[in-house]
Structure 1
Amino acid sequence: MKAVSTMVMGVVGALAFAPVAQAAQCGNSAGGFDAWKASYAREIGGKFSQRAVNALMSTSYAQATINADRGQHSFHLSLPAFCQKRGCSAIAARGKKLKHQYSALFAQIESTYGVPPGPLLAIWGMETGFGAVSGHQNMLSAVATLAYDCRRSDYFTDQLNAALTLVDRGVFSAGTIGSMHGEVGMTQFMPKTVLQYGLGSLDSAQGALMSTANYLKAHGWTRGAGYGPGEPNFGALKEWNAASVYQQAIAKVGAEIDAAP
């Protein structure tokens, strides 16, 4: 299902959102979610619009999100096994064609951000199959569920605050659709990342690719430097995703795309 458009008009810069203290305790099951939600809505009442508070109150406990969060087993595979499971060869083959199709866009991106086509196409392909599968989960329900969940409550409370800010700005709504952890768009930005680095519609190739290049540059990407393991720009790929095998796969696929004529 195509994610709802996330139009961000030049919202860049480091906007930090410290997690708001939760009066209700975190939990590990659906039982306490409604009480936590109501308590948190009261706490944020003076910080966000009524529209954002109403959007929060419309959320429901996302068991599928919890299941996905507990089941990320592919990140523990070896690189060959991960690539076989995730289709690295197919991504590289399609990426080579798209590099030519979007040659003018990639030239503009590389001129502006210093990021070549390869890693951007590898991320685009790995995240959503080049936009084919960008999620079918209610974004706010996913993020609110993970903010309530005890496993990574602080991190996702931060994401929830960013999402509610974007609801205030009309970028997100109560019905915005994303992936299981609340990621949206063709390259799967989390709400806080949308707020900080989003440029244009993340459901368009141009907006998603420019935003991703903007993110990588902000996280240390150096024009002309390598991005394989041990090279200067590999650190920016580490910032994109914490899983070592994912970082290696992006570098591998990206290099294959960039090496093509």
Structure 2
Amino acid sequence: MIHCGRLTTALIAAFAALPLMVRAADAAQCGTGPGGFEAWKSAFADEAKAKGIGGAGISALMETHYNYPTIAADRGLKSFRLSLPAFMAKRGASIIASRGRRMKQAHAELFDSIEQRYGVPAGPLIAIWGMESGFGTQHGNQQSLSAIATLAYDCRRPDFFTDQLYAALKLVDDGRLSAETRGSMHGEIGQTQFLPKTVLEYGVGDLDTAEGALASTANYLKAHGWQRGAGYQPGEPNFAAIQAWNAATVYEQTIAIVGKEIDGGDD
């Protein structure tokens, strides 16, 4: 037998849980194809409003589309499974090193000022610059916000890209990103290909310029433990900061090798 007091308590608890149940039912649910993307956008927009995203961010979100090339690229990251020599050949490491030495000379004053401020020498910065965007010549041609929204919706890595999407919408609200901003397949932007959350945390200046992109990259590496004057090859102190930049072993090793060739080689 249920006493009245217990019944009242149980009813109060049940009614109190209803808003949570409704919110859970209405929450943006991940998907594996384009069919649910529009409904997901509407649900995500409600969540974004509740988290303080403004009208500009919401409007930009509603302009996004399901990006098929992004999904294809996300499912086809095969080059990271190559051997180190094969990966370096595929990415043109020797060309990046050769051109990078010339870039170091041409922009000596810029690299000196960055090293003075952040402690990061030119070599690894130029290696990253060359690897990520061909020294600023290849930013990508995907709508960055659509790419990130697609990956936040997709069930493969929704948590990671949900954080990126919130950051992107914050950048829209701040006037630093728009629905038309172009980037790479996963939504990376700028000359060293920052994701939106990284822009918010480490961006210095305009990432579409060499000055802003390289300073931002140095700032990122410093924040991830870069020690002024220490080595950055595998097994040396600063290699861990390079590992924070990209999780693929062959990519990390290529940055270290190419960076050393730039810092220590002559063309």
TM-score between the two structures when normalised by the length of structure 1: 0.91
1:257 and 2:266 equivalent?
no
User: Of 174, 187, 196, which residue of structure 2 is paired with 1:191?
Assistant: 196
In the TM superposition, residue 260 of structure 1 has moved relative to its aligned partner by: 2.4
Cα deviation 1:221-256 (Å, max 9, x = unaligned): 001111111110000001000000000000000000
Matches of 1:106 and 1:44, distance apart in 2: 39
Question: Which entry has the higher C-alpha Rg, 1 or 2?
Answer: 2
Match of 2:102 in 1: 97
Q: What is the RMSD of the two structures over their aligned residues, measured on CA atoms? A: 1.3
In the TM superposition, residue 175 of structure 1 has moved relative to its aligned partner by: 1.0
Matches of 2:71 and 2:130, distance apart in 1: 24
Write the mapping of 1:162-201 to structure 2, written as runs, cut at 5 A.
162-201=167-206
Matches of 1:204 and 1:143, distance apart in 2: 22
Matches of 2:85 and 2:48, distance apart in 1: 46
Match of 1:34 in 2: 38
1:65 and 2:70 equivalent?
yes
Q: What amino acid is aligned across from residue 170 of structure 1 in structure 2?
A: G
Matches of 1:101 and 1:166, distance apart in 2: 32
TM-score between the two structures when normalised by the length of structure 2: 0.89
Match of 2:58 in 1: 53
Q: Which runs of 5+ in 2 are unaligned?
A: 1-23
Match of 2:112 in 1: 107
User: Of 125, 129, 135, which residue of structure 2 is paired with 1:130?
Assistant: 135
Q: Which runs of 5+ in 1 are unaligned?
A: 1-20
Write the mapping of 1:14-29 to structure 2, written as runs, cut at 5 A.
23-29=27-33
In the TM superposition, residue 24 of structure 1 has moved relative to its aligned partner by: 2.9
Match of 1:18 in 2: none
Match of 2:150 in 1: 145
Cα deviation 1:91-135 (Å, max 9, x = unaligned): 000000000000001110111111000000000000011011111
Q: What amino acid is aligned across from residue 242 of structure 1 in structure 2?
A: A
Paired residue secondary structure (1:235): helix
Match of 1:10 in 2: none
Instruction: Give the structure with the higher percent helix.
Output: 2
Runs of 4 or more above 4 Å deviation: none
User: Of 44, 47, 58, which residue of structure 2 is paired with 1:43?
Assistant: 47
Matches of 2:191 and 2:167, distance apart in 1: 19
In the TM superposition, residue 45 of structure 1 has moved relative to its aligned partner by: 1.8
Q: What amino acid is aligned across from residue 188 of structure 2 in structure 1?
A: E
User: Of 246, 251, 257, which residue of structure 2 is paired with 1:246?
Assistant: 251
Matches of 2:109 and 2:28, distance apart in 1: 52
Greater relative contact order (Cα < 8 A, sep 6+): 1
Write the mapping of 1:186-225 to structure 2, written as runs, cut at 5 A.
186-225=191-230
In the TM superposition, residue 48 of structure 1 has moved relative to its aligned partner by: 1.1
